[in-house]
């Protein structure tokens, strides 16, 4: 039954029932008190003047008309106050159904209807955000596919060329053959790094990363990592300075292998954009209250201030026109951010264009028996803890392998 029909029926009940009751009351009173009325006026009712009978009739009719008009006005007021907002909500739902979300649902009508309008507006806003997010994700996926196609095409073309050279007998000396085979091997590693990066990003993005958390010594972990970093950078003619001001007994809850990956991504990313004749990198580990702060600084090309807030977004590149030969899928620093945040920490950057860039990592210190220790510790399972303890000792030693399994992202 429609709302209008329900209102009309209610109107008839509200109006006609009082009229009927009033008629019955007057009729009953008339027959019951007829003798008294005739005695009061001194004449039979049939002999009363017509004017008096008409007055009595008009009074009854006027009361009925007033009740009728009042009921009609009240019914229309209630009906319109409910149906008008509902009509607008109906039009809004049709727009949403057709994919049109750029409009505003205004609140009007009774409080209950205003609440309904408010809920519809919130729903529309969230649908719009979801639609915009889907569009952004689609564009990012298209960009990712484009980057992957380029990054795979380059090593495949090189591998094909060198294999053809071997088949055609161009590599006719042991030195040339060794050079060709090493190049093929390196290009194959490039493809493997890209595939590994994409697999890792997929697992992180869908929250399927199996972290193995454990209490790790800050000094021992970063000292071991710095040792391998120094060895690696020395082969690239990059000066490296390391300082660790954290006491021996300070620990933090982490997956050693994944934190090593974080450091690897940052180092690899920095190496991509070192444009100075004298290349230099610094890593400094210090205490900052209840936190451990790790800073990694380079003297590379730098990043514009307007881009600093975005460099950790997935697929973001501050300047895609620079170093086009380096390729990269554009998700390296987003992996860094995700891993650090999953450890209860945070990451940010400071930079001066053309001068230097510093990436900061912050982790909460872990103190045994301290209720303020991060909730991450509670997630640690016995088996995962044993695995992490084993990986902790060798995480820095695996640094170089982790590094070769990662394609850096452009700034």
pTM for the model stands at 0.58
Low-confidence winner among 54-63, 128-137, 309-318, 378-387 (lowest mean pLDDT): 378-387
Residue 375 has pLDDT above 60, yes or no: no
Distance of CA 259 to the CA centre of its chain: 23
Residue 384 has pLDDT above 60, yes or no: no
List of domains in the chain: 3-100 (no CATH), 139-205 (1.10.287.130), 214-404 (3.30.565.10)
Query: Cβ(298)–Cβ(356) under 8 Å?
Result: yes
123 by DSSP, 3-state: which? Answer: helix
The stretch 350-369 carries a mean pLDDT of: 86
62, 66, 67, 70 alpha-carbon torsion, rounded to 10°: 170
> Would you call 378 exposed, middle or buried from its count of C-beta atoms within 10 A (0-12, 13-18, 19+)?
exposed
Residue 271 has pLDDT above 80, yes or no: yes
Low-confidence winner among 88-102, 289-303, 317-331, 373-387 (lowest mean pLDDT): 373-387
Q: Which one has a higher pLDDT value, 212 or 13?
A: 212
The stretch 19-25 carries a mean pLDDT of: 68
Residue where the block lists tokens 């088949």 = 167
User: Predicted confidence band at 348 (pLDDT cuts at 50, 70, 90)?
Assistant: very high
The stretch 50-78 carries a mean pLDDT of: 74
CA geometry: angle 332, 336, 342, nearest 5 deg? 140
Gap between the Cα atoms of 184 and 76, Å rounded: 84
| Whole-number percent of the chain with pLDDT over 70 | 72
Residue 343 has pLDDT above 50, yes or no: yes
Residue where the block lists tokens 């809850």 = 253
Residue 406 has pLDDT above 50, yes or no: no
Contacts of 25 (CB under 8 A, 6+ apart): none
Low-confidence winner among 12-16, 93-97, 268-272 (lowest mean pLDDT): 12-16
The stretch 6-22 carries a mean pLDDT of: 67
Low-confidence winner among 115-124, 151-160, 203-212, 230-239 (lowest mean pLDDT): 203-212
Per-chain mean pLDDT for the chain? 77
Give one word for 261, left, alpha or beta, with left for phi > 0 and alpha for psi -120 to 50.
alpha
Q: Which one has a higher pLDDT value, 353 or 325?
A: 353
Using alpha carbons only, how large is the chain's radius of gyration in Å? 40
Distance of CA 178 to the CA centre of its chain: 49
299-325 pLDDT, tens digit per residue, is 888 888 888 878 887 666 655 544 444
Residue 218 has pLDDT above 90, yes or no: yes
The stretch 339-366 carries a mean pLDDT of: 91
The stretch 92-103 carries a mean pLDDT of: 86
Q: Which pLDDT value is given to residue 402? A: 41
Gap between the Cα atoms of 375 and 290, Å rounded: 14
């Amino acid at each position: 039954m429609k709302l209008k029909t329900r209102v009309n029926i209610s109107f008839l009940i509200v109006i006609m029932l009082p009229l009927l009751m009033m008629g019955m009351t007057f009729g009953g009173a008339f027959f019951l008190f007829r003798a008294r009325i005739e005695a009061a006026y001194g004449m039979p009712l049939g002999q009363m003047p017509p004017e008096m009978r008409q007055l009595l009739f008009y009074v009854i009719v006027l009361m009925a008309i007033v009740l009728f008009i009042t009921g009609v006005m009240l019914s229309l007021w209630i009906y319109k106050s409910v149906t008008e907002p509902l009509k607008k909500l109906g039009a809004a739902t049709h727009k949403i159904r057709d994919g049109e979300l750029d409009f505003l649902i205004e609140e009007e009508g009774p409080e209950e209807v205003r609440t309904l309008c408010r809920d519809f507006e919130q729903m529309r806003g969230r649908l719009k955000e979801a639609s915009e997010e889907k569009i952004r994700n689609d564009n990012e996926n298209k960009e990712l596919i484009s980057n992957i196609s380029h990054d795979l095409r380059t090593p495949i073309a090189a591998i094909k060329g060198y294999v053809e050279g071997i088949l055609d007998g161009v590599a006719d000396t042991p030195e040339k053959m060794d050079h060709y085979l090493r190049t093929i091997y390196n290009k194959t590693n490039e493809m493997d790094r890209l595939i590994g990066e994409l697999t890792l990003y997929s697992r992180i993005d869908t929250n399927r990363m199996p972290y193995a958390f454990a209490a790790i010594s800050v000094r021992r972990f970063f000292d071991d990592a710095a040792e391998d970093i120094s060895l690696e950078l020395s082969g690239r003619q990059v000066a490296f300075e390391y300082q660790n001001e954290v006491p021996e007994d300070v620990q933090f809850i982490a997956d050693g292998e994944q934190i090593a990956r974080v450091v690897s991504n940052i180092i690899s990313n920095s190496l991509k954009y070192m444009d100075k004749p004298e290349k230099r990198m610094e890593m400094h580990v210090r205490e900052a209250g209840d936190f451990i702060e790790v800073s990694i600084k380079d003297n590379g090309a730098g990043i514009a201030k307007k881009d600093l807030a975005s460099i950790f977004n997935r697929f973001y590149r501050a300047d895609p026109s620079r170093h086009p030969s380096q390729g990269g899928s554009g998700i390296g620093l987003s992996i860094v951010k995700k891993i650090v945040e999953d450890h209860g920490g945070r990451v940010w950057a400071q930079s001066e264009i053309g001068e230097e860039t510093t990436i900061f990592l912050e982790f909460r210190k872990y103190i045994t028996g301290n209720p303020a220790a991060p909730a991450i510790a509670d997630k640690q399972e016995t088996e995962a803890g044993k695995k992490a303890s084993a990986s902790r000792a060798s995480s820095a030693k695996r640094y170089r392998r982790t590094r070769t399994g990662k394609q850096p992202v452009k700034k």
